[in-house]
């Protein structure tokens, strides 16, 4: 009986794999990203706890709302991680983050179980990153960013992210408890790897952004 209860609680416990991700993001001064990861971890943990026996007291919201916010938090975590990787300047960064916050909320409300919940943010962010980096390569006439970013961050990060999504959409019927728990761990590792080593935009005062037409269009 104890092993059955432990197995049922495993998805809740595995959601705590995001704790190191939160800590690392905060240490690297990605405070907004750390807050999103905490939001995600909290709702995933409560959502899975409400599935287990004897933990109904933790269900402070309707089950379908907990489900919604756990999926929303995961998709938003993917989005902010990729935007952090893009290393955008303001006001582009805050504009694109808010774009994701709003559109992901609508998309998940429409269909929370479709592939588009995650493929939409990933595809949009990858396209933005590719355009920016290709323009930088053309300007530098060389590789951008450094080779180490591809080998130490992007390659492993996307591998863990792809593994997590494969487990989530194609292999959960094997054994939901273990596969879904490993999905939590793989996704957490992907977030850690994709985050840059330091937030270059943190802690710098700089001059205020000039309110020009091009600023409003996020083109400077």
Rounded alpha-carbon distances, angstroms, from residue 199 to 31, 84, 152: 9, 8, 17
Please write the tens of the pLDDT for every residue from 82-91. Answer: 999 988 888 8
Query: Is residue 54 over pLDDT 70?
Result: no
Distance CA 161, CA 172 (A): 16
Query: Is residue 216 over pLDDT 50?
Result: no
* DSSP classification of residue 29: T
Please write the tens of the pLDDT for every residue from 114-136. Answer: 888 899 899 999 999 999 999 98
Percent share of the chain, pLDDT over 90: 50
Quick one: which of 159, 132, 127 has its CA closest to 144? Answer: 132
- pTM for the full predicted model: 0.86
Asked if 117 and 71 count as a contact pair (C-beta separation under 8 A), the reply is yes
Asked if 183 and 168 count as a contact pair (C-beta separation under 8 A), the reply is yes
Query: Is residue 113 over pLDDT 70?
Result: yes
Distance CA 120, CA 107 (A): 9
Q: What are phi and psi of 210, to 5 degrees?
A: -75, 135
Q: Is the peptide bond before 48 cis (omega within 30 degrees of 0)?
A: no
Quick one: which of 60, 52, 39 has its CA closest to 13? Answer: 52
- The pLDDT value given to residue 172: 78
Mean pLDDT of 164-174: 88
Average pLDDT over the chain reads: 84
- The pLDDT value given to residue 204: 54
Query: Is residue 217 over pLDDT 60?
Result: no
Mean pLDDT of 158-180: 89
Give the chain's radius of gyration (CA, Å).
19
Mean pLDDT of 27-35: 93
Q: Which tops the pLDDT comparison, 113 or 128?
A: 128
- The pLDDT value given to residue 62: 85
Name the token pair of 196.
Answer: 């840059």
Query: Is residue 19 over pLDDT 80?
Result: yes
């Amino acid at each position: 009986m104890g092993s059955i209860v432990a197995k049922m609680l495993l998805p809740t416990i595995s959601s705590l794999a995001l704790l190191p991700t939160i800590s690392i993001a905060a240490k690297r001064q990605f405070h907004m990203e750390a807050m999103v990861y905490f939001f995600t971890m909290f709702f995933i943990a409560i959502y899975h706890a409400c599935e287990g026996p004897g933990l109904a007291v933790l269900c402070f919201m309707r089950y379908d709302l907990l489900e919604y916010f756990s999926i929303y938090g995961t998709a938003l975590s993917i989005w902010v991680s990729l935007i952090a990787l893009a290393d955008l300047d303001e006001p582009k960064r805050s504009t694109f983050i808010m774009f994701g916050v709003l559109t992901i909320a609508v998309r998940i409300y429409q269909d929370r179980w479709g592939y588009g919940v995650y493929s939409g943010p990933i595809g949009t962010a990858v396209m933005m990153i590719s355009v920016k980096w290709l323009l930088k390569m053309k300007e530098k006439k060389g590789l951008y960013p450094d080779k180490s970013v591809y080998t130490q961050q992007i390659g492993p990060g996307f591998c863990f992210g792809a593994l997590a999504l494969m487990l989530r959409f194609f292999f959960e019927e094997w054994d939901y408890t273990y596969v879904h728990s490993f999905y939590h761990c793989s996704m957490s590792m992907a977030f850690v790897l994709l985050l840059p080593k330091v937030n270059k935009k943190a802690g710098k005062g700089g001059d205020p952004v000039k309110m020009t037409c091009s600023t409003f269009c996020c083109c400077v």
